[in-house]
Structure 1
Amino acid sequence: MVRTVFSPEYCLQYLEQYASKEIFVVGLILGQTTNEKENVIYLARTPEEKNADTVSESSYVSDKTDIAKNLLSVSEAWVADHAKHVTRMLPGGMFVQGIFVTSDEDIFEDPNQFSKVKEILHYIHKVLNVNQYMYGNCPYTNERLVLHMSTSTKVLNCKSVEVGAPNRSTVIKPVEWKFVPKIQQWQRLDCYYEFDEVYPVIVKKSGISVKHQFQQILESAHKTIESSVMFIDGELKDGNEAIEQIIKKKKTKTNSKNTQQDIPKTMQVSLFVPFENTLPETVEYLECDGSIHFSGVVSSSVFMCPKATISEAIVAVKQDIIRSLASRFTMHCDALIDDNLLPEEKVCFNEPPRRVLVPVGSIYLCDYLFPGESPAEALLSVRELLDLQITEADVICDVETPADTSEFDALDRDASSEELLATPQEASQFMYITGICFAMLVLIVSIIIHYYDTIMDVLRKLLSRKYY
C-alpha cells in the first residue's frame, strides 16, 4: 500500500515561489503522523549556513553566510541543527518528517545527490536522538519523507527513506503527496500543568552544575507525567475512541437540549498524578547541602487531527510538556556564563524562558522569550527558523506569565543581612541581659498587683495629712 501524505495548498505555493525563480533550496517538512492519517503542516526553508565563528548554539542570526548552490555543498550538520531548533518550536505530537529540495538536478536519479539526501536524513535522526526528552524523532515510523520539485519542469516527486537502521540499510518507497484545497481541521487541547517540587542538592568540590540539577528535575518530571492520568473536559475517555467521535457526541447532546451554544473549539485537559500510599521497607537518608524549589506552571497547547485517538492525544500532551521543559532548560543553560553555582552562594534564582505562541497556518507553534525580551525577539526566530513573516501583534504572550520573584527577593534580603547580625556569643549575652530585665519587670508588676490595696491606703493617708 502506497503511503499517502496530505498537505495544504499553501505548501505548494511555498515550493513554487522558489522553483519559479530557479533557486536551490533545502528545508524541513513539519507535520503529524497518526495511525489513520499523515498531515504536513508546513515547509520551513533551512537558513543559509553561517560561518562557525559567528553563529552560536541559541541563534541563527548572523551577517556572514555561505550560500549553497546545490545539494552537495550543503552541510548535513547545519540542516540537523536547524531541525533541532525547529523541534523546540513544535507542539507535542508533531515532528520533523523529512526534508524538501528545489533544484534543477533530479536528486533521486543522481547517485551522488541521493547519497547526500540519505546522509542528511541520518544525521538529523542522530542529532534529534541525543536528547530523549525532546522527542525529536517520531515514534510511529522510521521512514522520513523526501520531497523534490524540479526548478525546470516544476514536477513534484516524493519518496520515503528509512533511517535509524544499524547497518545504514536504505529502504526507499514511493509516497503519494496530495495537496488539499480545504484547510485541515485541527482539534486543540489545552492544558496547564503546575510544578511545585523540592529537590535535594549536594555540593561537590567543583560546585553545583545547573545543567545537572535541571537534568534531575527533568527526569523526575518525566516519571511523574508519564504516570499521570489524563481527563478531557473533566471526563476519563476511552483511549481507543477517536477525537471526532467525542465531538459528534457533544454536537448530538447539544442539539438534543435545543440550545444555541456552540461546541467549544478547544478541549480542556487535566493531568492527575496517582497517589502512592506505599513506603519502601528500607528508607535511605541522604545528607544534603541545600535544596532547589522548582515552581511554576507550564502552558500546553496541542493540535490533533480529529481522526486521532484519545491515546494518541494523551501521548502528544505529555510529550508537549516534557519537550517544553527540555527546550527551555537547554536554552537557559546555553545562556549561562558559568554553569557552576559555587557552594558559598546560599540563595540563587534561575528563571528559564517562558513560552509564547506564534501562528502557522491554522495552528500555533511556540517560541521562548527570556526575561526582559519583547515579542520582537520571537519575530527574529520565526523568520530565521520558519521562513515566515508575522507581526508582533500575532505573537500570543499571555499563555504564561513572568515569574513572581517576590519570594526570592525576600530570601535574598535575608541572606544579604546575615553580615549585620551579631555573633553567636554577642547574641547570647544580649539575650541573657534582656531576660534579666524582663524578669525584674515582671517581679515589680506582680508586687504592685499583690499589695495594691495596701499601697492605695498608704497613699490616701499621706494625701489626707495636713502639714503646717
Structure 2
Amino acid sequence: MVKAVVGEETQLKSTEDRLSQSAVPSQVGLLIGKLSSSSDRCLVFDLIPTPPNDAGEAACSLLEGRGGRDDKKRGSKPKSQSDSSSLVIDKDWVAEHARQVSRMLLGGMKVLGIYIWTNESSFKNSTIILCQTVKGVAEAAPLLETDWDERLLIHISYSPRRWTCRNCSLTSNITSSSIRPCDFKMGRVLASLQTFRCTYTFDLRLPICCEDVSSARKFADILRQGISSHAKELKDAKAIIDGDLVVKDESCLPDGLHEVEFLLPFMKDSFAEACSEKEVVGVLAFSGSVCSFAYSNSREPVSQALADLKGDIIMSLQSRLDVICDESDGESSSNTNRGKDASEELSTGEPFVQLTPQLLRKQCSLTFPRRVFIPWLAGTYICDHLQLAETLEVVKDHCVELMAMPAPDSSTILEPEIVPPALNSKSLWDAALPFCLTSSPDCSSLEKSGILTSQEHEGKSTSSANFNLSAAVWILILAILIGLALYTVKRFSHTT
C-alpha cells in the first residue's frame, strides 16, 4: 500500500492553472510518475488529459442539468439538485489512452492512475465509475515486476479549491470503500532524478516446435513467449555502470548520465531448454540492438534503476511487436506496401508474424519499428516507435495528441537506433545447413520460382547431406586402402 504521494509542484500547479482558466466542468486524465517500492511512496511527474474520442466527444462530462462549475455563480439551483450531480466517463477510451501512453514511457515511468477535475458533490456521487475507470487503466497499462494491487486517484476540486489523493483498490468487488485517502504533497521531484542509459544487443533463436504447428499458434505468439522467456534471463544479468562491475547494491551514485552494460549468464537459454525434449521444425531468429533509458530517484538503490532499465528493454520489444500486430489488425485486408521488407507479406496479405507455421512455405523477414526519443520534462525523455515508412511527423502528432505537449522540434529528437531489430524465419534444415542455399543453385532457383516448398527443400537438403556423408565414407575407405598398400610395399622392400 502506498502511504505517501509527492507531486512535481511545477507541473501540477501548471495543470491547476490551465484547468481553472478553462470552462470545462470536468476532466479526466492520467497520472504519470514512478512507484518506489522500497519506500512505499509514489512520485507524480505530470498529469496528462485524455483527448476527445474519435467522435470528438470529451472522455468525461457531468450529467446535463445536474450541477456543474457555474452553479455557485448562477445560484439558481437548489442545493439538493447540485448534490445529485454525477460524472459520465468513457472508461474504455481512458483505458486505451493509458495503453498508448504506456508505450511512450521509459524505464521507471509508469501510468500510476487517473486524476479527475470536478466539484466535490459530483466526485462523491461517482465513486463506482471512478474505481471502474482506475481498474480499466490498470489492466490496459499493467505494472510489471510488482504486486501493487492499487492505483492512485487524485481529485482536483474547484468548489472548494483543493487537492486530495486516494488509493483505489483493484479488487473485483468495487464498492464505495474501495478508495482510501493517503498523504499528498507537492515538491521538487524531477530535479532529483538520475539517468541511466544502455544499448543492449541481443540475438535470440526461438525454436518452432511441432506443437506450435498442430495448435495453430501464430508466429507473434511464439515471439511474445520468447521475449517473456528472455526477460527471465535478463533479470539475472550482471551490470557494469560507467565501466565498473556492480558487486553490491549501492544506495546512490553521483549526478549525471550513467552508462550501463549487461552481462548475460554464459550458455544459458531457458527457452531452448524448455523445447529440448520436443520436435523442432523451424527457428525464428530475432536480433538487433535496443537503446534504453531509465530514471531513478537519488534515494533509491542502484538495483532498482537496473531493474527499471531491464524492464524498459523488454517493454520496448513487446511494444514494437504490439505496433506491428495493431497495424496488421487494422489493415488485414490491405496489400499496400508500407515500407516493410519485400518478403514480409505473403499471399494472405498479412505480415508473417500473424500467420501460423503451417502456412509458411518460404523464408521470411521483418524489420521491426525503430525507437526514437523525445525531450519531455526537466531533461527527461519519452519515446515512440516508428515503422520504416513513417517520418518524425508521426512522432509529433503522437506527442500532441497523447501527451498533450507542444510538437517537438525535429532537431531535438534522438534517433540512436540506426539499424532497428529484425526477425527472420527459417526451417530447421535452413538453420542447421545454411550452406545448402548458397552451394546448391538448383535449390535456390526452384525456391525463388515458388516450385519448391519448404518440405521439398527439406527433402533435397536431406539428400544432399546423405550424399556428402557417403562421399566422405568412400574417401576414408580409399585412404585406408592406400595406406595399407604403401605399408605393404615398404615392408616387402625391407625384407628383400
TM-score w.r.t. the length of structure 2 is 0.68
The reply to whether residue 123 of structure 1 matches residue 128 of structure 2 is no
Task: Give the distance between the partners of 1:389 and 1:297, measured in 2 at CA.
Answer: 30
Q: Secondary structure at the match of 1:349?
A: strand
Match of 1:86 in 2: 101
Match of 2:341 in 1: none
CA contact (8 A) 2:292 2:313 kept: yes
CA contact (8 A) 2:116 2:155 kept: yes
The reply to whether residue 216 of structure 1 matches residue 225 of structure 2 is yes
When residues 417 and 40 of structure 1 are mapped into structure 2, their CA distance, relative to the original with a 3 A threshold, is same
- Post-superposition Cα deviations, 1:79-98, rounded to whole Å, max 9, x if no partner, equal 11211111111112221112
Match of 1:369 in 2: 386
Letter in 1 for 2:235: E
267-276 vs 302-311, which deviates more?
267-276
Match of 2:263 in 1: 272
Q: 1:358 aligns with which of 374, 377, 391?
A: 374
Task: Give the distance between the partners of 1:225 and 1:2, measured in 2 at CA.
Answer: 31
What does 1:342-357 align with in structure 2 at a 5 Å threshold? 343-357=359-373
Q: 1:396 aligns with which of 413, 435, 446?
A: 413
CA contact (8 A) 2:155 2:163 kept: yes
Task: Give the distance between the partners of 1:278 and 1:367, measured in 2 at CA.
Answer: 30
Match of 2:35 in 1: 33
Letter in 2 for 1:164: L
Which ranges in structure 2 are unaligned for 5 or more consecutive residues?
63-85, 333-349, 426-433, 453-459, 465-496
The reply to whether residue 314 of structure 1 matches residue 306 of structure 2 is yes
The reply to whether residue 161 of structure 1 matches residue 167 of structure 2 is yes
What does 1:332-351 align with in structure 2 at a 5 Å threshold? 332-336=324-328, 337=332, 338=350, 339-340=354-355, 343-351=359-367
When residues 125 and 151 of structure 1 are mapped into structure 2, their CA distance, relative to the original with a 3 A threshold, is same
Task: Give the distance between the partners of 2:314 and 2:377, measured in 1 at CA.
Answer: 24
Q: Secondary structure at the match of 1:22?
A: coil
413-422 vs 364-373, which deviates more?
413-422
Task: Give the distance between the partners of 2:122 and 2:228, measured in 1 at CA.
Answer: 42
Task: Give the distance between the partners of 1:121 and 1:420, measured in 2 at CA.
Answer: 53
Task: Give the distance between the partners of 2:368 and 2:282, measured in 1 at CA.
Answer: 20
CA contact (8 A) 2:111 2:141 kept: no
Give 1:311 shift: 1.7
Give 1:181 shift: 6.1
Q: 1:50 aligns with which of 46, 54, 66?
A: 54
Give 1:359 shift: 1.6
- Post-superposition Cα deviations, 1:328-369, rounded to whole Å, max 9, x if no partner, equal 111112222331156343111112211111122121111111
Match of 1:433 in 2: none
Match of 1:459 in 2: none
Give 1:139 shift: 2.2
Give 1:282 shift: 12
Letter in 1 for 2:92: A
- Post-superposition Cα deviations, 1:135-177, rounded to whole Å, max 9, x if no partner, equal 36x8264342222223454x22222223233544645443443
TM-score w.r.t. the length of structure 1 is 0.72
Task: Give the distance between the partners of 1:417 and 1:387, measured in 2 at CA.
Answer: 54
Match of 1:453 in 2: none
Alpha-carbon RMSD across the aligned residues, in angstroms, is: 3.7
Letter in 1 for 2:88: S
Match of 2:23 in 1: 22
Task: Give the distance between the partners of 1:28 and 1:394, measured in 2 at CA.
Answer: 28
Task: Give the distance between the partners of 1:327 and 1:278, measured in 2 at CA.
Answer: 23
CA contact (8 A) 1:376 1:392 kept: no
CA contact (8 A) 1:352 1:370 kept: yes
Letter in 1 for 2:200: Y
CA contact (8 A) 2:200 2:289 kept: yes
What does 1:64-79 align with in structure 2 at a 5 Å threshold? 64-65=56-57, 68-70=60-62, 72-79=87-94
Q: Secondary structure at the match of 1:92?
A: coil
CA contact (8 A) 2:288 2:422 kept: no
Match of 2:72 in 1: none
Match of 2:235 in 1: 226
Structure number with higher relative contact order (C-alpha < 8 Å, ≥ 6 residues apart): 1
Letter in 2 for 1:3: A
CA contact (8 A) 1:30 1:41 kept: yes
Task: Give the distance between the partners of 2:3 and 2:46, measured in 1 at CA.
Answer: 22
Letter in 1 for 2:43: N
220-229 vs 139-148, which deviates more?
139-148
Task: Give the distance between the partners of 1:240 and 1:404, measured in 2 at CA.
Answer: 32
Letter in 2 for 1:365: I
CA contact (8 A) 2:59 2:94 kept: no
Q: Secondary structure at the match of 1:241?
A: coil
Letter in 1 for 2:112: Q
Which ranges in structure 1 are unaligned for 5 or more consecutive residues?
52-63, 130-134, 248-262, 429-468
Q: Secondary structure at the match of 1:49?
A: coil
Task: Give the distance between the partners of 2:9 and 2:163, measured in 1 at CA.
Answer: 16
When residues 90 and 284 of structure 1 are mapped into structure 2, their CA distance, relative to the original with a 3 A threshold, is closer
CA contact (8 A) 2:286 2:424 kept: no
CA contact (8 A) 1:19 1:102 kept: no
Letter in 2 for 1:220: S
Match of 1:458 in 2: none
Task: Give the distance between the partners of 2:372 and 2:414, measured in 1 at CA.
Answer: 5
Q: 1:303 aligns with which of 281, 292, 295?
A: 295
Give 1:240 shift: 4.0
